[in-house]
Amino acid sequence: MGGRANAHCMVRWGRWFSFVQPPRFDPHACMTSTESFATLPPFRAGGIPASLSVVCPCYNEEEVLSELHRRLVAVIATCGIPTVEVLLVDDGSRDATWPMIQQLAERDSRIRAIKLSRNFGHQLALTCGLDRCQGDVVLIIDADLQDPPELLMPMLEKMREGFDVVYGVRRRREGESPSKRFFAYAFYRILSRVTGVAIPADTGDFRLVSRRALNTLLQLRERHRFVRGMVPWIGYKQAPIVYDRPQRFAGETKYPFRKSLKLAFDAITSFSTHPLRLASYLGLGVSGFAFLYIVVVVVLKLCGINFPGYTSLMASILLLGGVQLVVLGIVGEYVGRIFEQGQNRPLYIVDDEVGQPAHKDV
């Protein structure tokens, strides 16, 4: 009797547990639409990705937009990808760039036109496009056509080998002054030494990125962005494509020396604390020199040798003051970045948007 009662209780309890047991956990059910792309294979069985996004920041590019669109359309027609979207992000242009982008979006349903409320800078305009793109693979390209869109097919072929990122490496740089080429050469070599990240030399933002790598990249929300360094930081398998970089199709460069220098400083301060260490070493060196100088002065005084010291005194004061200002400036740069990051302001503000995200044919 007791055994049958226990068995009856176990059946009842078993039915109750089967009733209250939660449904089987589905990881896709708790992901947002962007996050769920990370679990999808970037390529179909036939070796073609289900969808492609092209992200292109634009700033005063009215002279190149028509040619850019023509070449992108030609490349897209040959790649065989069923669903394609092209995001043209106007970074507060002062010419007719935005009206031209609107016209392109009206004529071509694959164009998504995005206008920022002001000029936020190339890296943040690029981030805006990356935040909004929907493709399984994403091509990052500049509007000046110095990065040939025709390299999309070789990049896709390389990505089929199992790489998450395929980036362009500039073998030659046509149309650039010797000083700019030297600055670029020195910058990448110095950057590789002072950072703990293996940032490829002679690269830009031109690259093809898988959805998995892009979702990881979008988790990095620092304000002072150096995308071509952030992509190597996330890891995954990455491979280069070497090409000769032609000169700009039309217009003027949007990265003069001043902006290039600012980008270089953002890159170093974003990925390294070496400037702070250099300031410490400089302070130690000057302190050691000052101590030796004090010893020499005391010895000369004891020996009865006393030189008029106006020149040496002023030189010492100016040297110490200069070193202090340099050290304070370096520390101030890092503190300023902490302050701006702590404000938690949006990285960019969208003023207008034309076009809808492409529906993926999955």
What mean pLDDT comes out for the span 32-56? 61
Element (H, E) at 170: strand 165-173
What mean pLDDT comes out for the span 119-146? 91
Q: DSSP letter string over 279-306?
A: HHHHHHHHHHHHHHHHHHHHHHHHTT--
Confidence (pLDDT) at 361: 42
Confidence (pLDDT) at 29: 35
Phi then psi for residue 241, to 5 deg, are: -125, 120
Q: Are 238 and 163 in contact (CB under 8 A)?
A: yes
Average pLDDT, the chain: 75
Residue boundaries of the structural domains of the chain: 33-258+348-354, 274-343
At 224-245, the pLDDT tens digits run: 888 888 888 888 899 998 888 8
pLDDT at position 39 over 80:
no
pLDDT at position 38 over 70:
no
CATH of 33-258+348-354 given 3.30.420.40, 3.40.50.300, 3.40.1190.20, 3.90.550.10: 3.90.550.10
How sure is the predictor about 17, in pLDDT bands with cuts at 50, 70 and 90? very low
What mean pLDDT comes out for the span 19-33? 34
Phi then psi for residue 342, to 5 deg, are: -70, -20
At 290-322, the pLDDT tens digits run: 777 767 767 766 776 666 665 567 667 767 777
Residues 6+ positions from 267 with CB-CB distance below 8 Å: 187, 191, 226, 229
pLDDT at position 58 over 60:
yes
Confidence (pLDDT) at 254: 55
